A and B are shown apart, each in its own frame.
Chain A
Amino acid sequence: MSREVLERGVLQETVLRVEDLRVYYNTPAGAVKAVDGITFTLRRGERFGLVGESGSGKSTTALAIMRLIKPPGHIVGGRVQLGNQDLSTLSDDEFRRVRLAEIAMVPQGAMNSLNPVMRIKDQILDGIWAHESTTPRHELNDRLPELLSTVGLQPNVLNLFPHELSGGMKQRVCIAIGISLQPKVIIADEPTSALDVVVQRQIMSTLGAVQERLGASVILVGHDMGLMAQFVDRIGVMYGGRLVEVGPVRDIFKEPLHPYTQSLISSLPTLSSKEVSHGLPGSPPSLLSPPSGCVFHPRCSQVMSNCPLEVPDLREIRPGRWVSCHLY
């Protein structure tokens, strides 16, 4: 682990383990394999970035961990382990207790999903009260001002309605809801996609501060590699429903191993040169009938003869560096 990471108190202890997760959607045309065998671990205090383009399966993975997949989607395989507990064996009721209290999510577009006719304090209370229904509501009320201050909001926000808040403030409210029960894992799915660049920086810094205070781990789901570079410790790159590479953020940027990651990194627009970066030829794979063998082989510049035949495993070729590619 890098010095930076150690300084932040990231421990070796694994707090979340996802093993061979599969989520398929049943459509009239067949099964769409949105997530097809994802495996990764999350350490305590770590910031893990799950990055991929639209259709890569990253949001679906987040929802699957939270067991929020609705028909026609189903979790058809794999395990999610929180600490020592296998979440897949829990009943729906038992899992509901885990949701928000142990693993919380700030979903995509969360700030637009705030109830427009409820005051902020009621919306936060709703979540808490669902878990602590034995505690009287007014006692729960007392916790709110401090909760808001951890996300940088004044207590007066509690009595406001969502439309009276700016985009950044609404997103902070959503983060507040997410951390209201001090979960061990916070999953943030594109938390800043609708926000301006300056506000985005403020929100990410708030999220980071909140995380450190709680000693929680964060999974940041998104497609903005720049944002990942600024925030996360480790990155998992997704393509076509599979994880193609996992590693520390610095290594991924300086020395990407998987051909997809390589083209992703090289096509990133930067302020250092005026050259318009070039994209990847071809188009994202059909998840209904994905390419045989390695899901990336049709677009791969380094494709070999066995790539269409065998699905490469995600293997740890160096300590901390996992790649799913026949080149290694």
Chain B
Amino acid sequence: MATGSAVIPQVKPAVPQGRTRLGAFLAYCRRNPNLIIGLVMVLFLILIGLIGPLFVNVAQAQPTSVIPDQPPSPDLLLGSDDQGRDLLAVLVAGLPLTMRVGFIAGAVGLTIGVILAFIAGYQGGTVDTVIRLVVDTLLTVPGLLVLIIIADSIKGVISINLMALVVASLAWMHPARTIRSQVLTLRERAYVQMAKLSGMNGFEIIVRELVPNLLPYLAASFVGAVSAAVLASIGLEALGLGPQNEPTVGMTIYWAISFDALLRGLWWWWIVPIVVIVVLFMGLFLISAGLDEVANPRLRRSA
């Protein structure tokens, strides 16, 4: 039986008339710390990649640039690895590469997924059944295994962008499913029926009526897709299936493992990628938790 929350009498919001959406958004951010902290963390990492090159010589991210196996010192702030790479330069050069894989794969995966989701969810009928069958079947395929097989067969020619596409090929199913269920819910809303009565066709309804209301879900799906993509790419790279010459986070781990950095006490080599991974994923998670609150108003903190 229901208990509790009575309907709070409708209060005219204490906002000035014609307050912009941006103003409302910023005020909201103050009440949603998860989102802000997460965004700050991820932005911080992006900045390292953007501004870093101004301070650090990225050419030294290549092997035989500096004296190898040096612990952190005033000259080499993060030390150097066994092949003579300046690890600070590696961080500055490689972090954006890793994130690029994540974002490209996430974006491509999401776009494909969303398009299919809208078609399936809005049209219904046979189209929906077919798409749903394909998605559900592919979801059962062990993703990492498939990725390993694909990556292994193109081992010689793999590049950052190619890796992103490989990862994207399995990143579209989950968004397809979640967005489709949201579309199914919204499809029967009265404002969609009104739109039909006002002469809009299916495509217009999707773009003008449904998408704006799905923005939180789309954003959350994007964050989820990016996280999964980054994880997949780091995983592939750590297994040695990534682009061998790029100083990405995953490749750094691979080299650290290959050269027994742990056993040899070269702690500065493996600690940096781990810290970076933790910060990145925590940031992405907090963003996703923050977006969850946007999408689900009941989670919002009461005053």
Contact = CB atoms under 8 A, between A and B. Distances in A.
Q: Do A and B touch each other in the complex, judged by CB within 8 A?
A: yes
Interface of A: 25-30, 32, 34, 54-55, 57, 59-60, 63, 68-73, 107-110, 112-114, 123, 127, 174, 177, 286-288
10 contacts: A25-B8, A28-B303, A32-B11, A34-B6, A34-B9, A57-B9, A60-B6, A110-B1, A110-B2, A112-B2
Contacts of A70: 4-5
A114 B1 CA distance: 6
B2 A27 contact: no
Question: Does more than half of chain B's interface fall in helix, strand or loop, or is it mixed?
Answer: loop
B7 A32 contact: no
Given A72-B302, A73-B6, A29 B1 contact: no
A114 B9 CA distance: 25
A279 B3 CA distance: 33
Interface residues of B, number: 16
B125 interface: no
B4 to A, nearest CB: 5
A26 B302 CA distance: 9
B8 A32 contact: yes
B287 to A, nearest CB: 25
B10 interface: yes
Given A28-B14, A29-B14, A107-B3, A72 B303 contact: yes
Contacts of B7: 54, 59
Contacts of B302: 71-72
Contacts of B8: 25, 27, 32, 34, 72-73
A174 B1 contact: yes
Contact of A286 (B2, B3, B4, B12): B12
Given A32-B8, A113-B2, 20 more contacts: A27-B303, A29-B14, A30-B14, A34-B8, A55-B10, A59-B6, A63-B4, A68-B4, A72-B8, A72-B303, A73-B8, A107-B1, A109-B2, A110-B1, A113-B1, A123-B1, A127-B1, A177-B1, A287-B11, A288-B11
A26 B2 contact: no
Contacts of B12: 286, 288
B27 to A, nearest CB: 10
Nearest to A287: B9
Contacts of A30: 14
Contacts of A29: 11, 13-14
Contacts of A177: 1
Contacts of B2: 107-110, 112-113
Nearest to A288: B11
A54 B10 CA distance: 10
A70 B5 CA distance: 6
A186 to B, nearest CB: 13
Contacts of A174: 1
A63 B5 CA distance: 9
Interface in B122-167: none
